[in-house]
Amino acid sequence: MTTQNTLDNAGTLGALRKMGERGDDDFGIGEAALLLAALDRPLSDINPYLDHLDELANEVSQMVSSDTDRSLSKRTGALANIIATEWRYTGDVHTYDDPQNANLMDVIDRRKGLPVGLAIIYLDVAHRLHWEATGINFPGQFLIRLEKGTSRQIVDPFNNGIAHDVAGLRALLKQVAGLAAELHPDHYSPVSRRDTLIRLLNNIKQRAISAKNYERGAEILERMLLIAPERLPLLQEAGVFYSRIGNLHRAAMALETFLTQSINEAERGEAEILLHRVRSRLN
């Protein structure tokens, strides 16, 4: 395993900070999500959860290897069969906003979660088998794309791993975006492992803010910055967020860091105005 048996909070933060220094797809997405989950479950041992992901990958591999036809459809079928049918992972349609749905440890314990939480399991299993798989930027739902050679298939982890054809994707899009919506190439654009984790954390942050739990919102925003320290939109958002909740020192720090890196004149202008206001309130 790449992680010691039980990590204290400092060890977990350190491991995540190292992932934040790597390339956007240069780490295990399952391990990263489990480390993030461990921040809410102090002194948790993530290794049993990593072992479970290994077990899923082994079972999927055995199913594919036992079939002479190892086409992409066999791969996506094996993922759905093992993860959704055998282990009964499914989307939580009844308590969708339950915070446990965005904590990968809880998702594994409960066998249900948000679309992005379940997608991380599918992606991690595929990556362990060295399959080409990525999240895609589909509106209103987090889907994944698997590729083999020139073949591609879109899989829906929230709906028991079903593979969508073009007609199915069009129908799904109209459900979430209206009857006038049509498929666009942007809907198939890949989402990196880092951005997938940010999307997972954003679900938690938005629910905290909706509940007016701004301390929790700030905590989650710090985790986003931990794993994506060079994402300028996050730094700008941190400046705005901390200014609104009165943490002026943290707001100034985020805005100053943003201004040292951003080359967008419009965004720099907004940040400079806000930083001036923050500094005037500090004095």
Mean pLDDT across 62-81: 89
- pLDDT the model gives residue 68: 67
- pLDDT the model gives residue 6: 55
pLDDT band at 1, cuts 50/70/90?
Answer: very low
- pTM exceeding 0.85: yes
- pLDDT the model gives residue 66: 76
Q: Are 223 and 13 in contact (CB under 8 A)?
A: no
Mean pLDDT across 138-149: 93
Secondary structure (3-state) at 181: coil
Question: Considering only CA atoms, which of 281, 276, 283 is closest in space to residue 255?
Answer: 276
Ranges 109-118, 189-198, 274-283: which has the least confidence: 274-283
Distances from the Cα of 50 to the Cαs of 35, 105, 234, in angstroms? Answer: 11, 10, 29
- Identify the residue with better confidence: 49 or 215: 49
What sign has the CA pseudo-torsion 227, 228, 229, 235? negative
What residue spans of the chain are helical by DSSP H? 9-20, 29-38, 47-65, 72-79, 104-110, 115-128, 166-177, 193-210, 214-227, 232-245, 248-261, 265-282
pLDDT tens by residue, 13-55: 999 999 999 999 999 999 999 999 999 998 889 999 999 999 9
Q: Are 28 and 127 in contact (CB under 8 A)?
A: yes
Displacement of CA 231 from its chain's centroid (Å)? 15
- pLDDT the model gives residue 3: 43
CATH code at 9-191: 3.10.620
Mean pLDDT across 206-222: 93
How many Cβ atoms are within 10 Å of 14's Cβ, its own excluded?
13
| Average pLDDT of the chain, as a whole number | 93
For residue 96, give every residue at least 6 positions away whose Cβ sits within 8 Å of its Cβ, in sequence order, or none.
114
Q: Rounded CA gap, 36 and 13, in Å?
A: 9
The full set of domain ranges for the chain reads 9-191, 230-282
- pLDDT the model gives residue 283: 77
- Identify the residue with better confidence: 67 or 173: 173
